[in-house]
Amino acid sequence: MRENDMLEKDEIFSKVLRAGRRTYFFDVRATKADDYYITITESKKFTEEDGSFHYKKHKIYLYKEDFAAFREILDEMTEYVLSSKGEEVISERHQKDFKKEYQTEKEEGKGSFTDIDFDDI
C-alpha cells in the first residue's frame, strides 16, 4: 500500500462541489495518530477524440496548523476578485465551462448554488 493511500484511509467528513467540467472534493481525514486534516481535490474530465474520457486530479493537503492563515488569504483573494469589477469575474478561459454549467442548472430548474464556508468544514 502506498504511503498516500495509508494517510487517506480514514475519511471522516466529505462535501462535493460540481462546477462545469470540474468537481471539487473536500474531505476531512485522519492520520494513524488520529490527527485531522483536510484534502481538497480538483477533478477535471477530459474527453478524447474517440469518445473515451479520463480525469486529471490535483490535490491539496491542508493541516490544521495552517487553517487560519489559509482562510485569511483565501478570504482576501476572494474579496479582491469579487470587488475588482463590482460583478462576478470569470476569465475567458473559463467562460465555456461556466456557460455550460449555468445552462444545465437553468434547464434543470436549479439556478442556485451552495455557498461553502470554511467554518462548515
| Residue-wise pLDDT tens digits, 48-99 | 889 888 889 999 999 999 999 999 999 999 999 988 865 555 666 666 665 5
Decide if 111 contacts 103 (C-beta within 8 A).
no
Mean pLDDT of the chain: 78
Q: Cα(17)–Cα(21) distance, rounded to whole angstroms? A: 11
Decide if 45 contacts 52 (C-beta within 8 A).
no
C-alpha torsion angle, residues 94, 41, 18, 26 (rounded to 10): -140
- Domains of the chain (ranges; CATH) run 3-108 (3.10.450.700)
Burial grade of 38 (CB within 10 A; 0-12, 13-18, 19 or more):
buried
Total-model pTM: 0.59
pLDDT(111) > 70: no
